[in-house]
């Protein structure tokens, strides 16, 4: 069942085309990876899908609702964990989660139950009552993802979730993402190709705002005619095939 449908989605900033007529479909429950070098248009795509910025032309539907006309309905169903850690640094992890629960209009009991669930799923037990500014980057990122999951969204956008984290924190965060995989549709952008290959059900490669290819890691390697996913990515991006 299609959860997200992009139809010629385009974003132009003056004379720069950040996203150029992007069309693709993402299935419900899929973990979908958006790959590309810097400036490929991944973050702009996520910003348009999460209603943060309006497309110049084209449209996208999430759960049947258009990003052009049904923003409020989409906002009730999606969540985003932006590239930078989007948390209230002066509040504790628990207070951050309570704030998000309140913003989504959850009642107290439902919020408490969900907070306990997320605390356990993302291993936040030790840090629940600590202010975010005192936590490591890895913990902040996990709290950021927990905040995104508080309203049980049907679609979660993770923009570079492991950016700037050390190896251990990155591995732990991927474990956390694995734990929620399948429960909702996840669209993530990352530069870590090995992890994307291992984690994602399907991947799309973008270059200069255009979609170069989309498919499973195996399909992409086959298309590039190489045995290594990183080599396939480099080859496709350099050739700029579409």
> Closer to other proteins at the Cβ: 57 or 90?
90
Smallest separation, CB 122 to other proteins (Å): 16
- Summarize as ranges the residues that interact with other proteins (CB under 8 A): 50-54, 72, 75-76, 78-88, 90-91, 95, 98-105, 144, 147-148
> Closer to other proteins at the Cβ: 76 or 201?
76
Smallest separation, CB 93 to other proteins (Å): 13
> Closer to other proteins at the Cβ: 92 or 213?
92
> Closer to other proteins at the Cβ: 46 or 217?
46
- Partner residues linked to 91 by β-bridges: none
- Partner residues linked to 207 by β-bridges: 210
Residue 146's CB: how many other CB atoms inside 10 A? 26
Smallest separation, CB 169 to other proteins (Å): 18
Whole-number Å distance between alpha carbons of 36 and 45: 12
DSSP per-residue string spanning 157-217: EEESTTTT--HHHHHHHHHHHHHHBTTBEEEEE-S-HHHHHHH-SEEEEEETTEEEEEE-H
Residue 67's CB: how many other CB atoms inside 10 A? 24
Smallest separation, CB 80 to other proteins (Å): 5
């Amino acid at each position: 069942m299609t959860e997200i449908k992009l139809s010629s989605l385009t974003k132009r900033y003056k004379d720069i085309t950040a996203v150029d007529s992007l069309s693709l479909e993402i299935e419900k429950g899929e973990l979908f990876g958006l790959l590309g070098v810097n400036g490929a248009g991944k973050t702009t795509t996520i910003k348009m899908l999460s209603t943060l910025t309006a497309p110049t032309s084209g449209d996208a539907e999430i759960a049947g609702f258009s990003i052009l006309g049904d923003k409020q309905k989409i906002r009730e169903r999606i969540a985003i964990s932006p590239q930078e850690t989007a948390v209230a640094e002066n509040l504790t992890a628990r207070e951050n989660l309570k704030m998000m629960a309140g913003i989504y209009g959850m009642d107290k009991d439902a919020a408490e139950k969900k907070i306990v669930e997320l605390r356990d799923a993302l291993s936040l037990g030790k840090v629940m009552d600590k202010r975010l500014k005192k936590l490591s980057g890895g913990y902040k990122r996990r709290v950021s993802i927990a905040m995104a999951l508080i309203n049980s969204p049907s679609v979660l956008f993770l923009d570079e979730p492991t950016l700037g984290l050390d190896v251990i924190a990155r591995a732990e965060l991927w474990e956390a993402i694995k734990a929620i995989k399948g429960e909702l549709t996840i669209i993530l952008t990352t530069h870590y190709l090995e992890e994307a290959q291992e984690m994602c059900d399907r991947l799309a490669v973008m270059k200069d705002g255009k979609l170069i290819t989309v498919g499973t890691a195996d399909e992409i390697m086959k298309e590039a005619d190489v045995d290594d996913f990183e080599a396939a990515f480099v080859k496709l991006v350099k050739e700029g095939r579409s």
